[in-house]
């Protein structure tokens, strides 16, 4: 399994150096700021929701490789999805990252499984979930969230 984690690390670093949807969405319908004081990760998330579907998504901010890679992968996985599906992905992701050894819902998670190894590093879990909590805050009309 050592090869697998090398591959995971490679994907993570690739997302960190070339984050997807790293942009401001000018006509966003929802935005929120997220902050993880434990690590100093900061993210602004932009969502454009049209007819219950994530029509466009972008993020900006600064943080560690895990927070950036997780945000990048999140934007990829939720773009074009219905809000119901996004909630499903969020729950599957949250379970994966907080329940080591739990069953991973590959159908729902796809490439996000790459981040499953993070659950072995408790101090980094908040880095990985920051973008997700920020998305939830944005969708529920809150403009700010911290991971504490």
DSSP 104-148: P-HHHHGGGGGGGGGGG-HHHHHHHHHHHHHHHHHHTT-SEEE--
Specify the residue, 58 or 63, whose C-beta has the smaller distance to Zn ion: 63
Q: How many residues bind Zn ion (CB under 5 A)?
A: 5
CB of 106 to Zn ion, least distance (A): 25
Of 57, 29, 49, the closest CA to residue 143 belongs to 29
**Pair of tokens at residue 80:** 């074009």
If one asks whether residue 41 binds Zn ion (CB under 5 A), the answer comes out as yes
CB of 68 to Zn ion, least distance (A): 9
Measured CA to CA, the distance from residue 45 to residue 58 in angstroms comes to 6
Candidate list 64, 88, 104, 113; residue touching Zn ion; CB under 5 A: 64
If one asks whether residue 67 binds Zn ion (CB under 5 A), the answer comes out as yes
The span of 25-33, 47-55, 59-67, 70-78 binding Zn ion (CB under 5 A) equals: 59-67
Measured CA to CA, the distance from residue 29 to residue 49 in angstroms comes to 6
If one asks whether residue 65 binds Zn ion (CB under 5 A), the answer comes out as no
CB of 28 to Zn ion, least distance (A): 24
Measured CA to CA, the distance from residue 101 to residue 96 in angstroms comes to 8
Site residues (vs Zn ion, CB under 5 A): 39, 41, 64, 67, 127
């Amino acid at each position: 399994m050592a090869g697998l984690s090398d591959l995971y690390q490679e994907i993570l670093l690739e997302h960190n150096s070339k984050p997807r949807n790293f942009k401001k969405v000018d006509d966003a319908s929802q935005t929120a700021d997220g902050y993880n004081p434990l690590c100093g990760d900061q993210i602004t998330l932009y969502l454009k929701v049209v007819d219950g579907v994530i029509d466009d998504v972008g993020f900006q901010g600064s943080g560690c490789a895990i927070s950036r890679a997780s945000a990048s992968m999140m934007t990829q996985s939720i773009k074009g999805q219905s809000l119901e599906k996004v909630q499903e992905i969020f729950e599957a992701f949250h379970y994966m990252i907080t329940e080591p050894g739990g069953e991973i819902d590959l159908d729902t998670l796809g490439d996000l499984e790459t981040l499953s190894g993070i659950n072995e590093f408790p101090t980094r879990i908040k880095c990985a979930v920051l973008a997700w909590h920020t998305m939830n805050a944005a969708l529920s009309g809150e403009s700010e969230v911290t991971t504490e």
